Amino acid sequence: MTTGRLRITETEVDSRVSVVTVGGDLDMDTCHLLQAALARARPRVAIDLAALTSADSYGLTVLLATHRHAQAAGGRALVCGTGDLMRALFRQRGLDRVLELRATLEEAVAELRAL
């Protein structure tokens, strides 16, 4: 799914694991697109933010809600590929202590498949 400012790719790794790749600007006007993609994902989902250039509080709320929903469903949501900007934003908002962050997509997928 692509809009002018946000790109989302959904991939099923296997019957238990999904990958949602996000690029561009995640904000009030685009966060509903990510929310819909994550709602379609498996309970074990890797959220790859390597191509994300910005995120506001609305976008961050979608990530936090996904984390909580996955836990409640007995799954996991791992956020990966965060660059320096996103890591700083997560630290500033305290999300680095709540979200499960992994360095790479490969690491996140391997961990989810091993569960």
Sorted by where each begins, the domain ranges of the chain are: 6-103
CA distance 27 to 5: 9
pLDDT of 2 higher than 90: no
DSSP assignment letter at 9: E
pLDDT band at residue 83 using 50, 70 and 90 as cut-offs: confident
Average pLDDT over residues 86-114: 96
CATH number of this structure's domain 6-103, picked from the four choices 3.30.750.24, 3.30.530.20, 3.90.1300.10, 3.40.630.10: 3.30.750.24
Average pLDDT over residues 85-113: 95
Residues 6+ apart with CB under 8 A from 14: 113
pLDDT band at residue 84 using 50, 70 and 90 as cut-offs: confident
Give the predicted TM-score (pTM) of the model.
0.94
Which parts of the chain fold into alpha helices (H)?
31-40, 57-72, 84-93, 105-114
Indicate the residue type of 95: L
